[in-house]
A and B are shown apart, each in its own frame.
Chain A
């Protein structure tokens, strides 16, 4: 069992009129999502909230109905939980895609998605687009998400060539939710440890605040205060975009023990339940 302290904020920023970001903090489902929408006439807001709501609804159904694992696209290389999360992302992609054809003004809308989901012992980080998911472990900060931008993908193939690409490619996504009929998310599943911290954000934060600065803030502060400080920092530096951030702190990881060790520890726990009286 993983015990998590969570907090999250979404802020319109200083320059934009509306907030196209959406976030989900669900301690019950142990699901945390950031979506950054795009598209004019409020379509960006529609896309990002549709992504967040669809993922939540399907995860809830998985939880309540137990094993409804008749997933059409079940992949052996992922765990059961990872398959669930991926299929929720597929559903969300489809609902945005369908909605974009329902109204003229929604045409072409899309969204990023970055989700963290805890199973009993591991955590899964999945993403489409460029909203980062950072893992802070043992004093260092690493990206768990894969940025789907022209710039990042070019850099992976040819670092020199990527430098020659103009600034307009920095925010040019190669994948997003709702643009095509299907979408492929990147996912990783890892073991987590007490003291690990996860940060999910929109590019409104990552454009203004470096990973090292994020590390500095989340290491010092509790999640709720860390979120506030990070959003304020992005706004002080211009707040050009909507800013969303979720901070998750792992308080405890308890493994379900089996075998002889489990037996001993269960006996130990059992004993401690009885108050030992010395002089009867």
Chain B
């Protein structure tokens, strides 16, 4: 376990051992774990908490402040070699030879791809703040629906990844008209939403009155016209 070495004017005064799961307090008063008898030090000056595999230094709103490597800190995750200045004393945080050093090598290499095991993932997702809200096990994706305004009745759910609209009888939405292509347009479901694309035929589809020459992303309440058919795109 790491050690704290109390020094005064470069001379070692005392050595303390930090223990996992145990907090350590620093101050002028006798009931502290590390007692520094100096008027520059507050009664309860700072504390070091053991959190997971690391150690967190917190200044307890001391009068003269706590410094780590000459920087004023309110809280700081301790690393091997950190020098904590309190008044005129210094506490040096050091890890023992061969023990894992906090921050030095994270448990998982940053660039190492790995797969989370499912149980662990669920546990983490369950702990996350998002889960304060009612359970959202599988994110329920809104499904796009085309509801007929003219040329048909009712609505068509866009449950397929690729829906075809055109004259061909096998189309998901069959549209009549001389100028309408066999497959006049398709609607694809992409990760970020639904896209309408023009495919073939003289009569090109229109979205909100604008002719679509290639493809556009559909927004809710967009009005689509193909040949004699007019439909509105909504989410369900």
A positions within 8 Å CB-CB of B: 36, 38, 76-79, 82, 110, 112, 121-122, 130, 137-138, 142-146, 150, 154, 156-158, 160-161, 166-168, 170-176, 179-180, 186-191, 193, 203, 207, 240-241, 255, 257-262
> For the complex, what is the distance from the CA of A122 to the CA of B183, rounded to whole Å?
12
Binary contact track B97-141/A, C-beta < 8 Å → 1, others 0: 000000000111011111110100100110011100000100100
Determine the chain A residues whose CB is within 8 A of the CB of B190 once the complex forms: 142, 144, 188, 190
Determine the chain B residues whose CB is within 8 A of the CB of A259 once the complex forms: 167, 181-182
Q: Judge whether B139 and A156 touch: CB under 8 Å.
A: yes
Determine the chain A residues whose CB is within 8 A of the CB of B201 once the complex forms: 261
Determine the chain A residues whose CB is within 8 A of the CB of B107 once the complex forms: 168
Q: Could you tell me the distance in whole angstroms from the C-beta of B126 to the nearest C-beta in chain A?
A: 12
Extra inter-chain contacts (18) besides given A121-B199, A171-B112, CB under 8 Å: A77-B161, A122-B162, A137-B214, A145-B191, A154-B125, A157-B136, A168-B108, A171-B110, A172-B115, A176-B115, A187-B161, A191-B198, A191-B215, A193-B197, A255-B199, A259-B181, A261-B181, A262-B182
Q: Could you tell me the distance in whole angstroms from the C-beta of A277 to the nearest C-beta in chain B?
A: 32
B positions within 8 Å CB-CB of A: 106-108, 110-116, 118, 121, 124-125, 128-130, 136, 139, 159-162, 167-168, 178, 181-183, 186, 188-192, 195, 197-202, 214-215
Query: Among the listed A36, A78, A150, which residue makes an inter-chain contact with B116, where contact means beta carbons less than 8 Å apart?
Result: A150
Q: Judge whether A174 and B139 touch: CB under 8 Å.
A: no
Q: Judge whether B191 and A144 touch: CB under 8 Å.
A: yes
Determine the chain A residues whose CB is within 8 A of the CB of B214 once the complex forms: 137-138, 193
Q: Could you tell me the distance in whole angstroms from the C-beta of A157 to the nearest C-beta in chain B?
A: 5
Determine the chain A residues whose CB is within 8 A of the CB of B198 once the complex forms: 191
Q: Judge whether B199 and A190 touch: CB under 8 Å.
A: no
> For the complex, what is the distance from the CA of A171 to the CA of B200, rounded to whole Å?
42
Give the top 3 A-B pairs by smallest Cβ distance, nearest first.
A158-B130, A191-B197, A189-B162
Q: Judge whether B188 and A172 touch: CB under 8 Å.
A: no
Q: Could you tell me the distance in whole angstroms from the C-beta of A11 to the nearest C-beta in chain B?
A: 15
> For the complex, what is the distance from the CA of A193 to the CA of B185, rounded to whole Å?
13
Which chain A residue lies CB-closest to B117? A179
> For the complex, what is the distance from the CA of A104 to the CA of B202, rounded to whole Å?
62
Cβ contacts A to B, 8 pairs, < 8 Å: A76-B160, A137-B214, A174-B121, A175-B115, A191-B188, A193-B215, A255-B200, A257-B182
Determine the chain A residues whose CB is within 8 A of the CB of B168 once the complex forms: 258
Q: Judge whether A173 and B113 touch: CB under 8 Å.
A: yes
